[in-house]
Amino acid sequence: MHNLWQVHTDKFINEKESIMRNGNVYQIANGYMGYRGTLDEFGPDELVGITLAGLYDRVGDAWREPVNAPNGGFTEITLDGREISALSTRIKKHHQSLSLGNAVFERETDFESRGKALQIKSTRFLSADEPNLGVIKFSFTCNKAARVRIKTGIDYNIWDLNGPHLLKLTAKKKSGTLLVQSVTGEASKKVTVAEVIDLHFGKQTHEAGGNKNLRVIELDAKANQTYTFYKYFAVVTDNDPVKTSVHEAAIKKVEEAKDSGYDECLSRHNAQWAKRWEHCDVKIEGDDEAQHALRYSIFQLLMVAPVNGSANSIPARALSGQVYKGAIFWDTEMFMFPFFLYTYPEKAVELMRYRIKTLDGARRKAKTEGAGYRGAFYAWESQESGDDACTYFNIGDPFSKRDLRTYFRDKQVHISGDVAIAMWEYFKVTGDDSLLLEGGGEVILECARFYYSYAYFNKDKHRHEILDVVGPDEYHERVNNNAFTSMVAKATFEIANAMVEYLRRRHPDKLKSLVKKMDITGALPVFREMADLLYVPQPDETTGAIEQFDGYFKLKETTVKELKARMIHPNEYLGAGQGLAVPTKVIKQADVVMMLNLFKDRYTEQVKKANWEYYEPRTEHGSSLSACAYAMVAADIGKLDWAYSYFLKTAKIDIEARYKVYVGTIFMGGSHPAANGGAWMTVVFGFGGVKANAERVVINPRLYKEWKSLQFNMFYKGDSFNVKITRNDVTIIADPSNKCNRTFVVSGKSIECVPGKRLFVGYR
Ligand code: BGC
């Protein structure tokens, strides 16, 4: 099999679609920014994008979206006066690769132009050690003597979906450094890119024009001699904690990088990546396809994990562009967060701090949405302030080109509970209550308060109900008693109650001041009642099926295939208003099944199986979030073949880049970090059968038949463990630095893991 630490291709297909998809597959990122996997000579038409985390801008009435920075990585070359580009020159050979070990992108292209052969090689990385920094090594060799001109510098022709976001763009050259300075239109935030090169040949001049700030290097290249130079670029914005001005900071960063040199920058970068993999890799023995796809998925998450101290989160399309407004959805808490919680807790903290930082935005949303509510109603599409970026007309109809009313923003209320659940998971799995004390507790109570004000008391049935919502299945809007949503709301009350109890015991003063600050004394007893009396649809006594929402069982029976055959336009949206799925039982994504996964301890195997079998043929999997839920529940009920095929679907989505790119009139191309997180969860929680709670870690292995072993690391309560599952036994190594013994239960056998000791448990 191929190198399991790399993706590569020997093809360059000169088509927009292929360039766009490869831009996603080969992108690199370092949490501060992403750089799409495009070639050095490319521009905005090829979707070159350096997308910045946490910096957003809005132009007029268009969607607010993250800012793309000027491209400090730009280089183009001419040979005897002819421009050389993958878009226009004959290519004899092309190879490009992305190393999963350290997020280094390489391209090597052999061109032929008027009887001469020119090879271009470049290597690019975004430093994992210095978040603002990008580094490039560029070489070329011609087989015959030739006149070569290189233009390299900063291209500020920027690809935007709803731009332009950067105004007053000015190009400067200060000593040896090129600068492009600008400010965002909405908030006047400065964004500066600086670039320096380390080059020792040719004659250099400066050229600015056509939105490019360039150095022009001319030389008579000798036959078969390789010429190499290094580029360092830095992006610095007003969001960075810099002590000097933004442009001075940018200059300093590139100068320092140049002084350190390429090898030193690369070795610092590599050291950071080595640390990440040391704890985060998962090894699947016996199945290279699964191993490769899983490693690529983990790699995607590691690349986009927020910079420490930034309190940023991960958007639904990560840093692969401006798709989905660069917004943070429930994807983060429900699909990505668990990976970080178990393998890279310092990043899990950032994700939670982001929700604490945006609590005021969630409060504003609660007050102003619909009839007005109390508490925290988190944004469906959240940006830096927590105000909702989702519009009421969020999908364009490809027929009429009009915008369709969707209720994602005002009715997808499960988002608040998703946040509360993740916040509590953090506490349970790490044992660290600092987040609760530093705002997380307030988040949980505000989420409970929101559901309390959203719920309706049905006097006849003597129960609270959550009505008029959109569940994960967005094809059926404004439904009553959606099982997933109601269960998440109920769990939010349970968590709020458990947390109040915990604070009462451990931090009574903190509880007192919190209750006073939030003026919530009266609500606390009601939360207990809500937890007891909130209605959640129950399994049918004969079939075991749980009705997704009131009336779902009465909808029209059809198959996904039949439904799709009725589509008139390939991109038509199946939900909203007249959507084909609306009157039918066809659902967009896992909904009840998602609930059965999230609350797996509350349902029997029989109920899980009945619902998996009921909903699976009715699910379109129109969202990349769906497959992993089906995979995990299938693993849970021992249907490992079912689990495996859904696992591959979730794990291969980005490596294969075979996803839909338009929904309605909206461009959706980009990476899928939620599916990547789902791949990790399927392997560790699904096939590994891991489930931790506040008392112990439970492992019920369900190894897929092709796998000889599965090995991974996990943190539990701040202690580190290596777990290896083979067909017959489980070996757990507790790190010598662990603080104390921890209880693991392997297939029902309870064992104590002593720091520094290896334990071996047979499970068959
Ligand atoms: C899904 C949502 C998801 C969003 C972002 C939508 O297509 O239905 O559940 O949060 O995409 O990934």
Q: pLDDT tens digit string along 114-169? A: 999 999 999 999 999 999 999 999 999 999 999 999 999 999 999 999 999 999 99
Nearest to 12 by CA among 1, 26, 32, 28: 26
Q: Which amino acid is at 312?
A: N
Q: How far is the CA of 623 from the centre of ligand 1 (A)?
A: 6
Residues whose CB falls within 8 Å of the CB of residue 320, separated by 6 or more in sequence, listed in order: 23, 24, 27, 29, 34, 36, 49, 51, 670, 671
Residue 365 near residue 374 (C-beta atoms within 8 A): no
**Residue 71: inside a domain, yes or no?**
yes
Which among 381, 446, 474, 494 is annotated as catalytic?
474
User: Looking at the structure, do residues 718 and 612 belong to the same domain, yes or no?
Assistant: no
- At what angle are helices 345-357 and 359-368 packed, to 10 degrees? 40
- Give the residue-averaged pLDDT of 370-395: 96
Among 300, 321, 317, smallest CA distance to 47 is for: 321
pLDDT at 666 over 90: no
The secondary structure of 179-216 as a DSSP string is: EEEEEETTT--EEEEEEEEE--SSEEEEEEETTEEEEE
Give bridge partners of residue 552 from the DSSP assignment: none
Q: To 10 degrees, what angle do helices 626-636 and 673-681 make?
A: 10
In Å, how far are 400, 473, 569, 570 from 397, measured between CA atoms? 6, 19, 10, 12
Structure tokens belonging to residue 25 = 């597959």
Token output for 315 = 């958007």
Residue 669 predicted with pLDDT over 90: no
What is the C-alpha radius of gyration for the chain, rounded to an integer number of angstroms? 27
Residues within 6 Å of ligand 1 by CB: 316, 324, 329-331, 472, 474, 588-589, 623, 625, 674
Which residues have CB under 8 Å from 519's CB, separation 6+?
none
Q: Residue 671: is it exposed, middle or buried by C-beta count within 10 angstroms (0-12/13-18/19+)?
A: buried
- In this structure, are residues 749 and 716 in contact, taking their beta carbons and an 8 Å threshold? no
Residue 428 — φ and ψ, nearest 5°?
A: -65, -45
With a CB cutoff of 8 Å and minimum separation 6, the contacts of 465 are: 455, 456, 457, 458, 480, 481, 486, 534, 535
Residue nearest to ligand 1 atom 1, measured at CA: 623
Q: Roughly what angle, to the nearest 10 degrees, separates helices 345-357 and 441-454?
A: 50
Q: Taking Cα atoms as reference points, which of 297, 246, 248 lies closest to residue 69?
A: 246
Is 256 in the same domain as 268? yes
Task: Give how far the C-alpha of residue 658 lies from the chain's centroid of Cα atoms, to the nearest Å.
Answer: 17
Which stretch of DSSP H or E encloses residue 149?
Answer: strand 146-155
Cα–Cα dist 33/35, whole Å: 7
Given the CA of residue 330, which atom of ligand 1 is nearest to it? 10
Q: Which pLDDT score, from 0 to 100, does residue 668 have?
A: 81
Residue 720 has pLDDT above 80, yes or no: yes
* Torsion of Cα atoms, 374 then 378 then 381 then 385, to 10°: 90
Tokens at residue 507, please?
A: 């931090």
- Asked, for residue 568, whether it belongs to a domain, the answer is yes
Residues 455 and 528 grouped into a single domain: yes
**One domain for residues 295 and 235:** no
CA 589 to centroid of ligand 1, rounded, Å: 9
Q: Are residue 273 and residue 286 in the same domain, yes or no?
A: no
Substitution candidate for ligand 1 out of 415, 598, 625 with most atoms within 8 A of CB: 625
Q: How do residues 10-39 score in pLDDT, each as one tens digit?
A: 999 999 999 999 999 999 999 999 999 999
Residues whose CB is less than 8 angstroms from the CB of residue 61 and which lie 6 or more positions away in sequence, other chains included: none
Out of 635, 668, 687, a domain closes at 687
Residue 195 annotated as catalytic: no
Q: What share of the chain is helix, strand, coil (3-state, %, to 5)?
A: 35, 30, 35
Digit-coded pLDDT (tens) for 394-429: 999 989 999 999 999 999 999 999 999 999 999 999
How many other β-carbons are positioned within 10 Å of the β-carbon of residue 384? Answer: 23
Distance between CA atoms of 370 and 378, rounded to whole angstroms? Answer: 14
Confidence band of 660 (pLDDT split at 50, 70, 90): confident
Asked whether 353 and 99 are in contact (CB, 8 A), the reply is no
Answer whether 40's CB lies under 8 Å from 76's CB.
yes
Report strand pairing: 177-184 vs 166-174.
antiparallel
H helices present in 305-358, as ranges? 330-331, 337-343, 345-357
**Boundary residue ending a domain (253, 278, 303):** 278
Residue 693 resides in a domain: no
The H or E element containing residue 236 is strand 226-237
Residue 229 neighbours by CB under 8 Å, 6+ apart: 137, 138, 139, 150, 152, 197, 198, 199, 200, 201, 217
Position 577 scores a pLDDT of 86
Residue range of the domain that includes 411: 281-687
Tokens of 400: 């009429």
Q: What backbone torsions phi and psi does residue 431 show, to the nearest 5 degrees?
A: 75, 5
Structure tokens of 417? 């509970």
Both 551 and 528 in one domain: the answer is: yes
Alpha-carbon span 584 to 48, nearest angstrom: 41
Tally of residues, the chain: 764
Whether 104 and 193 share a structural domain: yes
* 710 backbone dihedrals φ, ψ, rounded to 5°: -135, 130
529-568 tens-digit pLDDT:
999 999 999 999 999 999 999 999 999 999 999 999 999 9
Taking the C-alpha atoms of residue 323 and residue 315, their distance in angstroms, rounded to an integer, is 9
Ligand 1 pocket mutation, candidates 329, 413, 415, criterion most atoms within 8 A of CB: 329
Share of the chain above pLDDT 70, in %: 100
The two beta strands, 697-699 and 742-746, are parallel
Say which CATH number the domain at 261 has: 2.70.98.40
Q: Nearest to residue 294, comparing CAs of 5, 725, 594?
A: 5
Q: Could you tell me the distance, in angstroms and rounded to a whole number, from the CA of residue 661 to the centre of ligand 1?
A: 13
Asked whether residue 315 is domain-assigned, the answer is yes
* Amino acid residing at 643: A
**Does one domain contain both 197 and 346?**
no
CA distance 713 to 72: 38
Q: What is the tally of structural domains in the chain?
A: 3
1 domain-assigned: no
pLDDT, position 662:
78
Residue 267 to residues 99, 299, 581, Cα–Cα distance (Å) = 15, 19, 53
Q: Alpha-carbon distance 646 to 706, whole Å? A: 15
> Tell me: the pLDDT tens digits for 492-507?
999 999 999 999 999 9
Domain check: are 405 and 341 in the same one?
yes
Nearest to 10 by CA among 92, 90, 96, 91: 96
Whether the per-residue pLDDT at 658 is higher than 90: the answer is no
Note the pLDDT of residue 659.
Answer: 81
Does the residue 731 lie in any domain? yes
Give the closest residue (by CA) to ligand 1 atom 6.
623
Q: Which atom of ligand 1 is nearest to the CA of 317?
A: 12
Sign of CA dihedral 611, 615, 621, 622: negative
CATH code of residue 730? 2.60.420.10
pLDDT single digits (tens) 236-272: 999 999 999 999 999 999 999 999 999 999 999 999 9
Work out whether the CA dihedral 457, 462, 463, 468 comes out positive or negative: negative
Q: Is residue 692 one of the residues assigned to a domain?
A: no
Residues 161-211 have pLDDT tens digits of 999 999 999 999 999 999 999 999 999 999 999 999 999 999 999 999 999
Are 741 and 752 in contact, with CB atoms under 8 Å apart? yes
Atom in ligand 1 nearest the alpha carbon of residue 329: 10
Phi, psi at residue 601, to the nearest 5°? Answer: -75, -15
b/e map 586-596, b = 16+ CB within 10 Å: bbbbbbbbbbb
In degrees and rounded to multiples of 5, residue 668 shows phi and psi of: -125, 10
CA distance 349 to 346: 5
**Average pLDDT value for the chain:** 97
**How far does the centroid of ligand 1 lie from the alpha carbon of residue 414, in Å?**
13
634 in the same domain as 713: no
Per-residue model confidence (pLDDT) at position 1: 56
Q: Is 618 helix (H, G, I), strand (E, B) or coil?
A: helix
Contact 629, 590 (CB under 8 A): yes
Strand order in the sheet with 50-57: 28-29, 33-35, 50-57, 65-68
Is the same domain home to 221 and 91? yes
CA of 716 to the centre of ligand 1 (A): 30
Residue 736 neighbours by CB distance under 10 Å: 9
CA 733 to each of CA 9, 292, 682: distance values in angstroms, whole numbers, following the listed order = 39, 25, 22
| Nearest atom of ligand 1 to the alpha carbon of 625 | 9
Ligand 1 pocket: which of 331, 335, 666 to mutate (most atoms <8 Å of CB)? 331
Would residue 395 count as lying in a domain?
Answer: yes
Q: What is the DSSP track for 495-536?
A: HHHHHHHHHHHH-HHHHHHHHHHHT-TTHHHHHHHHHHHB--
Q: 79 is written with which tokens?
A: 């040979």
AA identity, residue 749? K
CATH code of the domain containing 432: 1.50.10.10
Residues 110, 37 share a domain: yes
Q: Please give the distance, rounded to the nearest whole angstrom, from the Cα atom of residue 330 to the centre of ligand 1.
A: 8
Choosing from 653, 687, 721, the residue where a domain stops is 687
